[in-house]
Amino acid sequence: MTEQDRSTRYANAEDRARAGRYEEREADWRQGAVVYQVMVDRFAPPADLDARRHLYEAPKRLHAWDETPTKGEYVEDVRLWSHEIDFWGGDLAGLRDRLDHVADLGADVLYLNPICEASTNHGYDAIDYLRIAPWLGSREDVTRLADDLHGRGMRLVLDGVFNHVGRANPIFRAAEADPASPYRDWFEFGERFPGGVRAWALAESLPELVHENPAVTDYLWTRPNSVVRSYLRDGVDGWRLDVASDLGFRFLEDLTRAAHAEKPGSLTVGEVSAYAPEWLGPLDGLLHWNLRRVLVELANGRLSARHAQRILARVYADADYEHMLRSWLFVDNHDTARLPDAVPDPAAQRLARVLQHTLPGSPVVYYGSEVGMTGGDDPEMRGPMRWDLLTPDNPWLVLTRRLVELRRTRRALRVGDLRWLDTDELIGFERSTDRVADAVVVLANPGDEPVTELVQLVDSKLMHVLVDALGSGARLHPVQGMVEVELEPHGVLVLTPRTAEPGGYEPFKRVQ
């Protein structure tokens, strides 16, 4: 019997009410995508380091790939920390040569930290938005990268830093030098500001733009030749917006509208560190700092299961669900200690990563996380990619590939609905569609003691054996709508229904 025959003959009223919902979500590449984040300078080692030294003029410093970033001193002449101008030599051409790794992981989206010309390795201090940093490549390299990704069925998202520029930006220099400059009112100057200009987070190296000036927003996103729109025409598929809350609701809405006008279906995902449901709408999705905090605190035992589940339930209830599916869920990135440093217990790390990949949204894999890279606070978490750890038996690589594969084979994890389970000492939820074969039940014990608990299932179709898709061998047998769960400290199960038994018995033969 075909799937169409089954849905026609065996769908119940609830199935019929949900018909088409999941197909529409699957048609939107932004919903439930797996994102792989790369800091280009630190990803692919150059073939000839010495041949690249001329690209890094003093006070920039070029390091060997096996060196670890360390915190430096403040360089007064350039108003930067020395570790901000330490480089490792990666570029866009080298990244293109390593796309097989990203594709083999199963990523749907490649997200790059800022690549425009800047004074620093991190690129959050733009000199020229429209030009690529010469040590990384060119605009043509961006288009080639986008073409390569599209040929693999993947998308490209860039980091848009539109709240502020760097002090070396020619527009800022002209405005600073001449009160009569046409760019003077692109910035707010005054003696009350450290460094003489309003700057982001009082960092003198990052003068803020005045978006209330239409010339600024025309340059950034409104005009056809603006920064946002021109990169979308070059093949880029979306923007991750740095410190999006600093731009505010109105300007984020304008930017998103301009991006969608240039490329329908493009993505704007904004960095908002607060409790953020109201930012969905002006944005397509969030870089979800709030959920990252919940997962890390839960894994470290600072939130109980019951408390964390109440918080999670409220986050998803208060937000528009379609936007949450487009939001990015991360547990570490370029601004945080890597997960092994933030959560020292390996079992607790595993629990956090499993929840990251099974809760609604788009999980972000920060380069090197898939092989267990470590690194503390800035700049340690931005170390060069450890290709030497990329071995078939690396347990973190095995787990990452398994979790991503589960998202591919169980569409409920990508685009399914969310229902919470009534639990006490466990985290429990179900991801579901209108088809029982898609269902996934997740149960996690974040505590330091073993837990045995009776859990009420909320899906009336789940009447038969549930097996752990993570390979533990665990099998749960629902009895009268409940399952008895035994989980070791920091244990987690990702349960799926067994739809056929040896010998041909099909327990769901007349259930969609």
* CATH number (domain holding residue 133): 3.20.20.80
First to last CA, the chain: 11
Per-residue pLDDT, 6? 63
Flag whether pLDDT at 446 surpasses 90: yes
Average pLDDT estimate for 249-255: 98
Tell me, yes or no, whether 357 and 425 share the same domain: no
Flag whether pLDDT at 3 surpasses 80: no
Tell me, yes or no, whether 99 and 231 share the same domain: yes
- The β-bridge partners of 128 are 117
Tell me, yes or no, whether 380 and 429 share the same domain: no
Tell me, yes or no, whether 186 and 143 share the same domain: no
Find all residues with CB under 8 Å of 306, minimum gap 6, and list them: 423, 424, 425
Per-residue pLDDT, 221? 98
Find all residues with CB under 8 Å of 182, minimum gap 6, and list them: none
Average pLDDT, the chain: 96
Tell me, yes or no, whether 147 and 8 share the same domain: no
Please give, one letter per residue, the 3-state secondary structure of 196-242. Answer: HECEHHHCCCCEECCCCCHHHHHHHHHCCCCHHHHHHHCCCCEEEEC
Tell me, yes or no, whether 135 and 194 share the same domain: no
Tell me, yes or no, whether 192 and 69 share the same domain: no
Give residue-wise pLDDT tens across range 165-189: 999 999 999 999 999 999 999 999 9
Task: Report percent pLDDT > 90 for the chain.
Answer: 94
3-state secondary structure of 265: coil
Within a domain: residue 503? no
> Given the structure tokens 């890279």, which residue do they identify?
373
Tell me, yes or no, whether 343 and 433 share the same domain: no
Tokens of 348: 């607790």
265: closest CA among 222, 226, 288, 236?
Answer: 236
CATH code at 424?
A: 2.60.40.1180
**Domain count of the chain?**
3
Within a domain: residue 508? no
Give residue-wise pLDDT tens across range 92-113: 999 999 999 999 999 999 999 9
Tell me, yes or no, whether 323 and 431 share the same domain: no
Tell me, yes or no, whether 281 and 225 share the same domain: yes
Q: Which of 414, 432, 449 is the last residue of a domain?
A: 414
**pTM to 2 decimal places:** 0.97
Average pLDDT estimate for 120-138: 98
Q: Which of 414, 438, 461 is the last residue of a domain?
A: 414
Which residues does the annotation mark as catalytic? 242, 271
Give residue-wise pLDDT tens across range 52-65: 999 999 999 999 99
Within a domain: residue 94? yes
User: How many other C-beta atoms are found inside a 10 Å radius of the C-beta of residue 244?
Assistant: 28
Average pLDDT estimate for 483-511: 93
427-464 CB burial, b ≥16 within 10 A, e <16: bbbbbbbbbbbbbbbbbbbbbeeebebebebbbebbbb
Flag whether pLDDT at 8 surpasses 80: no
Flag whether pLDDT at 498 surpasses 80: yes
Tell me, yes or no, whether 388 and 437 share the same domain: no
What confidence category does residue 362 fall into, taking pLDDT thresholds of 50, 70 and 90? very high
Q: Tell me the C-alpha distance between 198 and 163, whole Å.
A: 11
Q: Which of 414, 441, 472 is the last residue of a domain?
A: 414
Per-residue pLDDT, 500? 86
**Sign of the CA dihedral with 85 first, then 91, 94, and 96 last:** positive
Within a domain: residue 322? yes
Within a domain: residue 84? yes
Tell me, yes or no, whether 197 and 209 share the same domain: no
Domain extent, residue 447, equals: 3-21+417-497
Within a domain: residue 249? yes
Within a domain: residue 81? yes
Average pLDDT estimate for 213-231: 98
Within a domain: residue 69? yes
